[in-house]
Amino acid sequence: MTRSFLPMIPPPRGPLLIDAPTVLILAGGLGTRLRSAVSDRPKVLADVGGRPFLAYWLETLALQGFQNVVLCTGYLSDHIERCFGDSYGPLKLRYSVESSPLGTGGAIRQALAQTEGSELLVLNGDSYCEVDLAEFWRDRARRRFPAAMALHYCADTRRFGRVTLTPENRVESFLEKSDLLRAGWINAGVYLLPSGWIREIAENAPASLERDLLPGWLTNGIYGFPSTGRFIDIGLPETLARAEEFFAASRRVAA
Is 3 inside a domain boundary?
Answer: no
pLDDT at 3: 47
What CATH number does the domain containing 26 carry?
Answer: 3.90.550.10
Give the model's pLDDT for residue 114: 96
Q: What is the pLDDT of residue 187?
A: 96
Asked whether residue 157 is domain-assigned, the answer is no
Q: How many domains does the chain have?
A: 1
For position 40, what pLDDT does the model report? 75
Specify if 96 maps to a domain. Answer: yes
- What's the pLDDT at 12? 53
Q: Within a domain: residue 216?
A: no
Tell me the pTM.
Answer: 0.92
Its domain, for residue 55, covers: 15-150+189-201+229-254
pLDDT, position 29: 77
Query: What pLDDT, on a 0 to 100 scale, did the predictor assign at position 178?
Result: 84
Does the residue 89 lie in any domain?
A: yes
What pLDDT was estimated at residue 176? 87
Question: Is the residue at 85 inside a domain?
Answer: yes
pLDDT for 235 equals: 86
Residues of the chain with pLDDT under 70: 1-14, 30-37, 250-255
- For residue 206, give every residue at least 6 positions away whose Cβ sits within 8 Å of its Cβ, in sequence order, or none: 101, 102, 103, 105, 106
pLDDT of residue 35: 63
